[in-house]
């Protein structure tokens, strides 16, 4: 599966701890992240992550482009609901695209815990069917 990891600044520590806690599960997958989030997680876990631009510089849109191509399977986006973001339209667009393509999206750690356990259990196997139909092979 292709998995995106994104966190606003006030939520980065939480996402880093989440990635450490569930490293054994997520390292089985192909990981993508916005710039700073990806760097923080790589430094803390040693995981290999394909990093896009930082969120305010277009990283959310780059991940959104993968969703629009239906090549992103799960998104962990720990949003900060208490701080205005300069790129709020990009944030909204990313969440919207997850709904357009029915992509599982966790915007907080409570939902993330449930999603990661579903991922471990194989609940996302239906995404493999979509990849097979698309004939694309860039996920594990």
Look at the alpha carbons of 20, 22, 26, 32 in this order and tell me if their dihedral is positive or negative.
Answer: negative
- Closest distance to ligand 13P from the beta carbon of 118 (Å): 23
CB nearer to ligand 13P: give 54 or 131: 54
Q: Which residues bind ligand 13P (CB under 6 A)?
A: 6, 8, 34-37, 54-56, 59-60, 91
- Pair of tokens at residue 127: 């995404």
CB atoms within 10 A of CB 51: 19
| Catalytic sites, residue numbers | 60
- Closest distance to ligand 13P from the beta carbon of 60 (Å): 5
Q: In whole angstroms, what is the distance from residue 70 CA to residue 113 CA?
A: 23
CB nearer to ligand 13P: give 2 or 34: 34
CB atoms within 10 A of CB 38: 22
Residue nearest to ligand 13P according to CB distances in the complex: 55
Tell me which residue has tokens 């694309």. 136
Feature table: binding site:
8, 12, 34-37, 54-55, 87
């Amino acid at each position: 599966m292709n998995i995106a990891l994104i966190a606003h600044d006030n939520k980065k520590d939480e996402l880093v701890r989440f990635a450490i806690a569930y490293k054994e599960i997520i390292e089985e997958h192909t990981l993508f992240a916005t710039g700073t989030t990806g760097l923080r997680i790589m430094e803390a876990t040693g995981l290999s992550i394909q990093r896009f631009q930082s969120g305010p510089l277009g990283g959310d849109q780059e991940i959104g482009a993968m969703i629009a191509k239906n090549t992103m399977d799960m998104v962990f986006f720990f949003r900060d609901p208490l701080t205005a973001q300069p790129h709020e339209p990009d944030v909204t667009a990313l969440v919207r695209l997850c709904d357009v393509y029915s992509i599982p999206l966790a915007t907080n750690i409570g939902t993330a815990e449930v999603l990661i356990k579903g991922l471990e259990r194989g609940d996302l196997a239906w995404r493999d069917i979509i990849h097979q139909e698309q004939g694309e092979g860039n996920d594990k």
